[in-house]
């Protein structure tokens, strides 16, 4: 081998590689920028979650023979929120009285005092306390065994048990705080006994504490897997479609087959859907392989007596969760890779996206960060947190629906973006085009927004809304409702129309209706809620917590406000702001699709905006009624009238109802059938009045 030849080739290749600015950026610039941002952002998120957990008081319930002195001492600790517990269950009382239920034995020397509740050691006490902790009524429960108070008075040994859930950070923190406070109390009791009897310090223990972990083995296994598996599964599934997306776009350009494909009588949508399905299938095969391999590996590790015990249904659900996120990521890969000129260029484009994907996946590793109404709508992170919740066994049905729907929305937007890119032959042939033109988001003076632009605007608006309302968590309804409606809905709509120079009249359906249109709006506004709230609520009854939350909103946090203030905040404000968005901007943008597609899409978006699976059907129905009203009359003002009457009438009935009768109403969410029948007749009259119209006014 000729060393000088090798040296010459080495210098030549190194020089050519370093001439490529993209290579330099990926090799030097990207690590310098990406890793500090990811690490600093991740550590900041961890710090925020940790500080939030420390600032929150732990909810603790005291069960059994509770001494007044100790209860008062625990109540004085600002880190603990002591809540009253009801009487002991009958089975627990019987077993305590018969002596079958006794304190757990003291662990042998050298063994840890923390105990996990084994399945074979399950007691009626554990069965009664576990639901209290798992449904978040309390972070921990302290059970004082019978005779505890007498034991302290007679200077004998008293027993208490701390029940907690090791999977939840809040429960572990409550266990730690209780342990610290009880340890101090025990030291004081011991010091008092020693002083009374004239004994040396450290003579007696006085109190024996038995911490017991109520988390099942499946939950503990799920916690271990939930911290790692969602991250690995999402990243590996994305990696599976990474090279396929490059090969089907930039690779075809490099091979010269893209031009041949464009010469065939094919539509751009057909091309992008075919390529997307191919890349997505490859990604899903990789996902299935990863899920199967990891499931088999952890099943082997968690064999008989092992630590990791997760069943096949959980792995199957985890794989199902990969479907929407894989579709979204693959669509973005396809859309971005088509900008590349060759395979190497495609790698340069997609590698930063793959790295950026890791950051939202890492949400499962943040202590205290769980699936909630706020995180459910975050792209990728929502799916990762849902998979974590599935492994732990805490996936609520309403949040599952919210994550799936939001993920499908993100995936749809990604597919629409990819389809928009493939409509540009200039890009497919290697040219360049600005992003504004691809999205049809350019200024269109005198026209209306396109469907793609309006849906993208809605998606961005919802993201801002869900995260912006975090700052209003502690604000009352009187403040929160106007800020959300005007600040997050009305102002962005007005700003968009003004910035893009759209036609105000056509974009927002700002037309004055005829007299019979006003009458139809009044009839529908007075009656639609009886049908939606009377019939559809019976299909999916809301939980009592949601009923109470809605009651609190309708009563403006139980503050005695004049009726006109109630109408202004609950009726007029949402009617104006929401109608201009949904039956104004969105309905106008979707009008080219036809009446029913436009009504169905806007109604679905209207229902999703209310962020509750239990309110989805009623709000979807109301969206259809209001949308049909605006479509037939051509005026958003009719929708505003109907919407205001709908909200205002319900708020007025609640406001005028006597307190006792109102509270009884909260226990029954079903309207009487006579009210539903009367409302149906009035609503039918309003719809028939609309049918006699010739239709919505044409565009001018």
pLDDT of 113 > 60? The answer is no
What pLDDT, on a 0 to 100 scale, did the predictor assign at position 630? 94
pLDDT of 414 > 70? The answer is yes
Q: At residue 100, what are phi and psi to the nearest 5 degrees?
A: -75, -25
pLDDT of 662 > 50? The answer is no
Q: Over range 194-209, report the average pLDDT.
A: 66
What pLDDT, on a 0 to 100 scale, did the predictor assign at position 228? 72
pLDDT of 281 > 60? The answer is yes
* Residue 395: half-sphere exposure toward Cβ, Cα within 13 Å: 25
CA dist., res. 275 & res. 267, Å (int): 13
Q: In whole numbers, what is the pLDDT of the chain averaged over residues?
A: 75
Instruction: Choose the most confident range, by mean pLDDT, from 312-316, 425-429, 488-492.
Output: 488-492
Structure tokens at 669: 């969410």
Query: Which of 366, 331, 365, 333 minimizes the C-alpha distance to 350?
Result: 333
Of the two residues 70 and 199, the one the predictor is more confident about is 70
What pLDDT, on a 0 to 100 scale, did the predictor assign at position 76? 86
Q: Walk across the sheet containing 207-213 and list its strands.
A: 80-83, 58-64, 140-144, 158-164, 207-213, 115-116
CA dist., res. 24 & res. 408, Å (int): 36
pLDDT of 300 > 70? The answer is no
CATH class of 58-215: alpha beta
Instruction: Choose the most confident range, by mean pLDDT, from 389-398, 415-424, 469-478.
Output: 389-398
What pLDDT, on a 0 to 100 scale, did the predictor assign at position 700? 37
Query: Which of 106, 206, 103, 209 minimizes the C-alpha distance to 156?
Result: 206
pLDDT of 660 > 50? The answer is no
Provide the pairing of β-strand 207-213 with 158-164.
Answer: parallel
Confidence grade of residue 117 (pLDDT, cut at 50, 70, 90): low
What pLDDT, on a 0 to 100 scale, did the predictor assign at position 625? 92
Of the two residues 678 and 10, the one the predictor is more confident about is 678
Q: At residue 282, what are phi and psi to the nearest 5 degrees?
A: -60, -45
Show the CA angle centred on residue 209, arms to residues 208 and 213, nearest 5°.
150
CA dist., res. 274 & res. 253, Å (int): 17
Query: Which of 457, 354, 460, 452 minimizes the C-alpha distance to 412?
Result: 452
Task: Kindly report which listed range (143-157, 347-361, 642-656) carries the lowest average pLDDT score.
Answer: 347-361
Instruction: Choose the most confident range, by mean pLDDT, from 160-164, 281-285, 359-363, 615-619.
Output: 160-164
Model confidence over 334-366: pLDDT tens digits? 777 777 777 777 777 787 778 777 777 777 777
Q: What is the DSSP letter of 429?
A: T
What pLDDT, on a 0 to 100 scale, did the predictor assign at position 261? 59
pLDDT more than 70, % of the chain: 69
Confidence grade of residue 120 (pLDDT, cut at 50, 70, 90): very low
Task: Kindly report which listed range (32-41, 372-381, 543-552) carries the lowest average pLDDT score.
Answer: 32-41
Of the two residues 387 and 209, the one the predictor is more confident about is 387
- Cβ-in-10-Å burial (0-12, 13-18, 19+) of 61 comes to buried
CA dist., res. 585 & res. 512, Å (int): 17
pLDDT of 304 > 50? The answer is no
Q: At residue 123, what are phi and psi to the nearest 5 degrees?
A: -120, 170
Q: Does residue 332 contact residue 198 with C-beta atoms inside 8 Å?
A: no
Say how many C-beta atoms besides its own lie within 10 A of residue 297's C-beta.
11
Structure tokens at 648: 């205002």
Confidence grade of residue 663 (pLDDT, cut at 50, 70, 90): very low
Question: Which residue(s) pair with 34 in the sheet?
Answer: none
What pLDDT, on a 0 to 100 scale, did the predictor assign at position 553? 61
Of the two residues 352 and 151, the one the predictor is more confident about is 151
Confidence grade of residue 696 (pLDDT, cut at 50, 70, 90): very low
Confidence grade of residue 303 (pLDDT, cut at 50, 70, 90): very low
Model confidence over 13-28: pLDDT tens digits? 666 655 656 555 555 5
Helix spans in 555-635 (H): 563-566, 573-579, 587-590, 595-608, 613-633
pLDDT of 438 > 50? The answer is no
Model confidence over 56-103: pLDDT tens digits? 888 999 988 888 888 888 888 888 888 877 788 888 888 888 888 888
What pLDDT, on a 0 to 100 scale, did the predictor assign at position 665? 38
* Residue 517: half-sphere exposure toward Cβ, Cα within 13 Å: 23
pLDDT more than 90, % of the chain: 9
Task: Kindly report which listed range (76-85, 112-121, 195-204, 374-383) carries the lowest average pLDDT score.
Answer: 112-121
Of the two residues 118 and 368, the one the predictor is more confident about is 368
Of the two residues 599 and 78, the one the predictor is more confident about is 599
Task: Kindly report which listed range (5-9, 76-80, 107-111, 597-601) carries the lowest average pLDDT score.
Answer: 107-111
Model confidence over 461-510: pLDDT tens digits? 876 776 677 677 677 778 888 888 898 899 999 999 988 888 888 899 99
Confidence grade of residue 560 (pLDDT, cut at 50, 70, 90): low
The 8 Å CB, 24+ separation contacts for 472-481 are: 476/556, 476/557, 476/559, 477/552, 477/553, 477/556, 477/557, 477/569, 478/556, 478/557, 478/559, 478/561, 478/565, 478/569, 481/553, 481/569, 481/570, 481/573, 481/574
What residues contact 70, with CB distance under 8 A and at least 6 apart?
185
Confidence grade of residue 585 (pLDDT, cut at 50, 70, 90): very high
Structure tokens at 246: 């490059």
What residues contact 656, with CB distance under 8 A and at least 6 apart?
none
Model confidence over 562-576: pLDDT tens digits? 788 888 888 899 999
Sign of the C-alpha dihedral, residues 344, 348, 350, 354? positive
Say what the pTM is. 0.49
What pLDDT, on a 0 to 100 scale, did the predictor assign at position 587? 93
Provide the pairing of β-strand 140-144 with 158-164.
Answer: antiparallel
Confidence grade of residue 391 (pLDDT, cut at 50, 70, 90): confident
Structure tokens at 178: 């209780």
């Amino acid at each position: 081998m000729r060393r000088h030849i090798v040296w010459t080739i080495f210098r030549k290749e190194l020089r050519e590689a370093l001439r490529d600015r993209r290579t330099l950026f990926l090799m030097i610039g990207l690590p310098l920028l990406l890793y500090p941002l990811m690490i600093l952002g991740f550590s900041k998120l961890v710090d925020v979650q940790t500080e939030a957990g420390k600032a929150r008081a732990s909810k603790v319930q005291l069960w059994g023979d509770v001494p007044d002195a100790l209860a008062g001492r625990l109540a004085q600790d600002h880190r603990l929120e002591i809540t009253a517990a009801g009487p002991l269950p009958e089975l627990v009382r019987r077993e305590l009285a018969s002596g079958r239920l006794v304190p757990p034995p003291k662990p042998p020397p050298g063994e840890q005092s923390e105990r996990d509740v084994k399945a074979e050691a399950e007691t009626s006490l554990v069965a009664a306390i576990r639901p209290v902790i798992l449904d978040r009524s309390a972070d921990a429960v302290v059970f004082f065994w019978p005779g505890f108070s007498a034991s302290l008075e007679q200077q004998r040994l008293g027993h208490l048990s701390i029940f907690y859930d090791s999977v939840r950070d809040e429960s572990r923190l409550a266990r730690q705080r209780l342990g610290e406070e009880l340890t101090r109390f025990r030291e004081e009791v011991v010091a008092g006994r020693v002083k009374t009897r004239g004994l040396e310090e450290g003579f007696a223990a006085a109190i024996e504490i038995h911490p017991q972990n109520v988390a099942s083995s499946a939950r503990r296994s799920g916690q271990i897997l939930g911290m790692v598996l969602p991250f690995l599964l999402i990243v590996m599934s994305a990696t599976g479609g990474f090279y396929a997306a490059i090969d089907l776009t930039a690779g075809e350009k490099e091979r010269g087959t893209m031009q041949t494909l464009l010469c065939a009588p094919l539509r751009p949508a057909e091309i992008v859907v075919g390529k997307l399905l191919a890349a997505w299938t490859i990604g899903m095969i990789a996902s299935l392989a990863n899920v199967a391999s990891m499931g088999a590996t952890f099943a082997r590790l968690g064999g008989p007596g092992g630590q990791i015990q997760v069943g096949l249904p959980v792995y199957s659900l985890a794989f199902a969760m990969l479907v929407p996120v894989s579709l979204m990521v693959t669509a973005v890969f396809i859309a971005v890779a088509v900008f590349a000129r060759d395979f190497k260029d495609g790698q340069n484009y997609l590698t930063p996206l793959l790295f950026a994907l890791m950051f939202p996946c890492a949400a499962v590793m943040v202590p205290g960060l769980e699936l909630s109404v706020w995180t459910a709508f975050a792209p990728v992170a929502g799916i990762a947190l849902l998979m974590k919740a599935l492994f732990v066994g805490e996936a609520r049905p309403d949040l599952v629906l919210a994550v799936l729907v939001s993920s499908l929305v993100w995936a749809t937007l990604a597919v629409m973006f990819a389809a928009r890119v493939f409509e540009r032959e200039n890009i497919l042939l290697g040219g360049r085009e600005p992003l504004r033109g691809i999205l049809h988001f350019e200024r269109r003076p005198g026209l209306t927004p396109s469907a793609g632009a309006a849906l993208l605007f809605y998606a961005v608006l919802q993201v801002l809304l869900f995260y912006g309302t975090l700052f209003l968590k502690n604000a009352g309804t009187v403040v929160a409702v106007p800020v959300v409606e005007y600040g997050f809905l009305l102002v962005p709509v007005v700003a968009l129309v003004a910035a893009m120079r759209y036609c105000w009249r056509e974009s927002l359906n700002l037309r004055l209706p005829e007299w019979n249109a006003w009458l139809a709006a009044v009839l529908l506004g007075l009656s639609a809620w009886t049908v939606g709230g009377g019939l559809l609520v019976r299909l999916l009854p809301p939980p009592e917590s949601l009923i109470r939350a809605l009651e609190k909103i309708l009563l403006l946090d139980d503050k005695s406000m004049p009726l006109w203030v109630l109408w202004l905040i609950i009726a007029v404000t949402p009617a104006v702001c929401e109608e201009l968005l949904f039956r104004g901007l969105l309905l106008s943008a979707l009008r080219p699709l036809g009446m029913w597609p436009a009504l169905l899409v806007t109604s679905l978006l209207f229902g999703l905006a209310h962020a509750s699976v239990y309110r989805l059907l009623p709000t979807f129905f109301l969206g259809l009624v209001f949308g049909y009203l605006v479509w037939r009359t051509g005026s958003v003002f009719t929708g505003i009238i109907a919407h205001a009457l709908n909200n205002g009438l319900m708020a007025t009935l609640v406001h005028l109802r006597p307190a006792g009768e109102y509270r009884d109403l909260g226990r029954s969410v079903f309207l009487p059938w006579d009210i539903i029948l009367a409302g149906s007749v009035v609503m039918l009259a309003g719809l028939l009045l609309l049918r006699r119209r010739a239709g919505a006014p044409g565009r001018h």
